[in-house]
Amino acid sequence: MSIAPDLRKKANFISYFRGGESLLVRKANPSHISNLEDLCGQKVAVKEGSFEQNDLVASNEKCQKDGRQLINIITRSQFSDVIQMLAEQKVVATYQDSAQTDYFVKQHADLFEVGGGVVDANLEGIAVRKEDTAMFNAISAAFHTLVSDGTYHRMIMRWGLTSGEISNPDVGVSYTGRLTPTNDM
């Protein structure tokens, strides 16, 4: 889950990934899409009812304020239908969770690429009840082992989630001989 300030008051977290949203575009990015502002006047597919749909609606306000055409937001209930619209060139981009974008680029590198960087990047983590120090220490130690022996990096590479790999997985975890939870992220 996203490590939000209000949630840190209720739980301790072991951070393991940097999430956010990103744009998926056709290979070679023929429409030169690199950010949400580039979508004004363009057809974009998104999963119906998603956070990303809300972001596109909010981006339309900026398009309108700047005197530009609105984004033509096309929603589909199934994520596979969203991606199919891009594959069939019915839209210039899709907008979704950055892990999904990375995965589709890995699976179909001949068709797709990322359009720009991660939007609204945030740390994601495993939440542990504040009073459960033993569980926090066990999960932290296990994750630290995955990082130390290279398993974490291999998993990131296997699934193509390269934009989410964190360079300092110990953020939010204090190592003082014994693992202890910390809230100073």
pTM equals: 0.79
Q: What is the CATH number of the domain that holds 102?
A: 3.40.190.10
In the chain, the number of structural domains is 2
52 and 107 share one domain:
yes
Last residue of a domain, one of 72, 93, 121: 121
77 and 115 share one domain:
yes
Range(s) of the domain holding residue 103:
20-121
Q: Is the pLDDT of residue 174 over 70?
A: no
Q: Is the pLDDT of residue 103 over 70?
A: yes
136 and 113 share one domain:
no
92 and 166 share one domain:
no
Last residue of a domain, one of 121, 148, 165: 121
15 and 82 share one domain:
no
Distance (Å, rounded) from C-alpha 183 to C-alpha 154?
Answer: 28
- pLDDT tens for each residue of 32-86: 999 999 999 999 999 999 999 999 999 999 999 999 999 999 999 999 999 999 9
